[in-house]
Amino acid sequence: LEGASRKRKHDISETETILEGASRKRKHDISETETNSVKHKKSKKQRGKSESESDVDSIVDDEFERNSVLSFKHRRMENEKLWNKSIHPETVQDKYDVLISDDLKKVEDNIPPLSVYIGSGFAAEVKSFHTDVVLLAEVFENFRALSMNYFELDPVHFYTTPSLTWSAGIKTTNVTLELLTDIDMYLMLESGIRGGMCLVSKRFSKANNKYLEDFDEMSPSKYIISLDVNNLYGTAMAFYNLPESEFRFLDQNEIQEFDLMSVQSDSNVGYILEVDLYYPPELHSEHNSFPMAPNHETITFDMLSAYQKEICEKLNIKINEKNKKLLNTFNEKKNYRPPTPWKSIFTSGPVYTVTYAIFGTYWIASHFLSVQPIFLGTILHFSIQENGFFTSVPFAFQIVLTFTASWISKWLNTHNYVGVDKVRKGSNFLFCLGYSLCLLGVYFSGCERLQSTGFGIAAMCFIGLSFTGCMIAPVDMSPTFAGSVMGLSSTIGSLAAFIFPVLVGVMTDGQQTLEQWNKIFLMCIGIVFSSGILFCVFGSAEVQPWNYASDEDGNNREEFEEMEHYVDAAIHL
């Protein structure tokens, strides 16, 4: 992806930003910063006021005279009597004498005269804490005035502060950001989102140095220091070029000739890379406290320590293997699509069972879409209008059952009540069992129009359970090669749409009798119910070993080694 980018211009007075590990300094011109008309708040250590109280104090008296909620509501009252929060203390003291000598005296000294409450009609408002609410409204009105003054944007037109900030940034920089229209570009950028690390990888550490009373001279000297970097996002956005427009993917030749070390950090041409990383063992000890390049990985039960496994078993904690976490590990970070392991797919038993289950589902679909209308017209003697109605009604109930089954299966997986494999098998078995029982009802109903039609509609509705059963299982079996497995199983399954109508035509040729149709119904029951049993016994919705293609699966080792020498994909900004 090729595109243009530019640095946001800032006027800064000779301030040097020193980057640890960098060999050069970056200078920026900073002009005198304009100060606003708002008083700066004191630090929390210098005051004992609440946050809302300090917000009120930050508004100068000039602002009270214009656009003030309080001045509009209570024009006759003196300003200094209004700009005070309620007298109720917001802190709790654990000593009675302190409360009497300090806080209570302070409260008594600050109680406004009775005329404030009686003469101005304030009694009901103080009782209901209306004063606090009005003061907070005053704070927000002041915030609106500041925003309109600096950005000409009204905060009440935005749901969140970040959305206001985003609009202010776009407005003040006069930058037109190009929207991504290529889904692959979007997915690549989205996959690069990491979030933030929040962990303590070392549970206990004890300092030992000459400044401590219990210093042990026989042990190594050790210091503990807390480091933090403020305004990381702001620094990145202010002092470095940001992607802007003209995105394109690099072609294969450009990728092979790409030299990362030749790209300057302040270049107007930037790159976003998708790479494979190998963590050399010699760096493990040095980086053990905080490995580089965090990545989203699925935590399995086998990855837990012996102590963690013991806790899980003791507290009956189930590990949801669908839940990904941001981890700092020494594992290899690979993000390219390996060659499809066709040999492993064609020799996989679960692939054949899920294919047969999908074949059974397509068989039912063909039954109701192309064959059932013939039965309704020739055996039950429905008119064309009635035939169309009873053929379409089941789809409405099927949609409801599909959404309901999807919600239930998601709820079971999310709360770790049942694994994905059991949900898929259970849902598919209910689908096959329900369909078979309802079709048996059609078989025994004979020419009873109402009874036969009711069982037929119910049988069609059960197809909705297949979408949380066998129809989605190929994606669970191999997320990496889901397209290949789904395409293979669906192609074979769709053959039912060709075979079933032809077979029905042969069986009913010149013999449009109830006896012949009962044979067709029994055949459908046999195919569908057997597919459900085979899927439950021999099928699987667990991730298959060949999903993680490696040398053991017969992949081309030379191709893997070649891909490790250059960047898989790069976006040229």
Tens-place pLDDT, residues 3-15? 445 544 433 333 2
> Phi-psi bin for 78: left (phi > 0), alpha (psi -120 to 50), beta?
beta
pLDDT at 153: 95
**Beta strands across the sheet bearing 569-572:** 248-249, 569-572, 271-274
| Amino acid in position 291 | P
Tens-place pLDDT, residues 392-435? 888 888 888 888 888 888 888 777 788 888 888 888 889 888 88
- pTM, two decimals, is 0.42
Other CB atoms within a 10 A radius of the CB of residue 383 amount to 10
Tens-place pLDDT, residues 232-287? 777 877 788 888 888 999 988 888 888 888 888 888 888 888 888 888 888 888 88
Rounded to whole angstroms, the Cα distance separating 153 from 146 reads 9
Greatest alpha-carbon span in the chain: 107
| Confidence band, pLDDT 50/70/90 cuts, at residue 50 | low
Percent of the chain past pLDDT 70, that is, above it, reads: 70
Residues 6+ positions from 98 with CB-CB distance below 8 Å:
none
Rounded to whole angstroms, the Cα distance separating 326 from 290 reads 13
Rounded to whole angstroms, the Cα distance separating 53 from 61 reads 15
Per-residue pLDDT for 120 more than 70?
Answer: no
Q: Residue 45 burial by CB count (10 A; 0-12/13-18/19+): exposed, middle or buried?
A: exposed
pLDDT at 35: 34
| Confidence band, pLDDT 50/70/90 cuts, at residue 338 | low
Rounded to whole angstroms, the Cα distance separating 393 from 371 reads 16
Q: Is 208 helix (H, G, I), strand (E, B) or coil?
A: strand
Rounded to whole angstroms, the Cα distance separating 443 from 517 reads 8
Check if the beta carbon of residue 353 is closer than 8 Å to that of residue 445: no
Tokens 């690549």, residue? 188
Tens-place pLDDT, residues 290-308? 888 888 888 888 788 888 8
Nearest to 520 by CA among 534, 489, 499: 499
Which domains can be identified in the chain, with CATH numbers? Answer: 342-546 (1.20.1250.20)
Percent of the chain past pLDDT 90, that is, above it, reads: 6
Torsion sign, CA atoms 486, 490, 491, 493: positive
* Exposure letters 436-456 (e unless 16+ CB within 10 A, then b): bebbebbbebeeebeebbbbb
Rounded to whole angstroms, the Cα distance separating 266 from 241 reads 7
Rounded to whole angstroms, the Cα distance separating 492 from 359 reads 7
| Confidence band, pLDDT 50/70/90 cuts, at residue 183 | confident
Tell me whether strands 248-249 and 242-245 are parallel, antiparallel or unpaired: unpaired
Rounded to whole angstroms, the Cα distance separating 486 from 467 reads 13
Check if the beta carbon of residue 477 is closer than 8 Å to that of residue 540: yes
Rounded to whole angstroms, the Cα distance separating 206 from 217 reads 14
Rounded to whole angstroms, the Cα distance separating 460 from 391 reads 9
| Confidence band, pLDDT 50/70/90 cuts, at residue 167 | very high
Tens-place pLDDT, residues 502-527? 888 888 776 778 888 888 888 888 98
544: its two tokens: 């298959």
Phi, psi of 374 (to 5 degrees): -65, -40
| Confidence band, pLDDT 50/70/90 cuts, at residue 208 | very high
Nearest to 433 by CA among 319, 555, 528: 528
Rounded to whole angstroms, the Cα distance separating 138 from 56 reads 8
pLDDT at 104: 44
Tens-place pLDDT, residues 141-159? 889 999 999 999 999 999 9
302: its two tokens: 């086998």
Residue 1 to residues 51, 176, 182, 564: CA-CA distances in angstroms? Answer: 47, 18, 10, 21
| Confidence band, pLDDT 50/70/90 cuts, at residue 546 | confident
Residue 391 to residues 264, 454, 464: CA-CA distances in angstroms? Answer: 67, 11, 16
| Amino acid in position 357 | A
Other CB atoms within a 10 A radius of the CB of residue 25 amount to 9
